[in-house]
Amino acid sequence: MKLVLATHNQGKVSELRAIMAPAGFELIGFDGPEPVEDGVSFLENALIKARSAHKQTGLPAIADDSGLQVDILGGSPGIFTAVWSGTKDNVANRRLLLAQLKDIPAENRAASFVCTIALVSEKTEVSFTGNWLGSIAFEERGTNGHGYDPVFIPEGFDLTAAELEPEIKNSLSHRATAVSSLMDYLKSNDVEL
């Protein structure tokens, strides 16, 4: 089954292809004009992107909006994860987060990655959300992954997400959970796209 993936983030393209390809889903990267993401939730922003890609290509489109929520920061950076430092610079974003949590002890550094993925086609519009619980490290570690992976320690691990093998991360992550639910939906329902 062919689906358009609406994103300009090549890390997401690689990650989602690795998760979906074994199940027989072909992702076509769509890197057209970026719509304005003015939603106030991950769901609203995912739908904005998927609707735009579907409208421009005529193909079933998926898009995700995801981010990091840190408990002690009231759920921030949330939908502002990619621009937390005022730029789309991952290094600057991570450094700002670590500086904000500098004096916070390990027991108060709980966080979660959240991913909402939306599917939009002529006949359907659905969404699925995945959460990956963990905490924020005291320093960056690891070179696998992207975004906040070097500072996120998944629950049950001593390693950051950037220190995990990609296969492990791709089976446990917030995005993997949301995409797995999407694939189950596509396989178990006689969905007409």
Respond yes or no: is residue 64 known to be catalytic.
Answer: no
Helix (H, G, I), strand (E, B) or coil at 114: strand
Q: Please tell me which residue in 64, 65, 103, 149 is annotated as part of the active site.
A: 65
Q: Split the chain (193 residues) into runs of 10 and give each run's mean pLDDT.
A: 86 80 85 89 96 94 96 97 95 97 98 97 95 98 92 97 91 90 84 70
Cα angle for residues 13, 7, 18 (degrees, 5° grid):
15
Contact 136, 70 (CB under 8 A): yes
Measured in whole angstroms, how far is the alpha carbon of residue 25 from the centre of its chain? 18
The answer to whether the pTM exceeds 0.75 is yes
94 CB burial (10 A radius; 0-12, 13-18, 19+): buried
Write the pLDDT tens digit of every residue in 15-55: 788 878 888 888 888 878 889 999 999 999 999 999 999 99
Q: What is the rounded CA–CA span in Å between residue 116 and residue 100?
A: 26
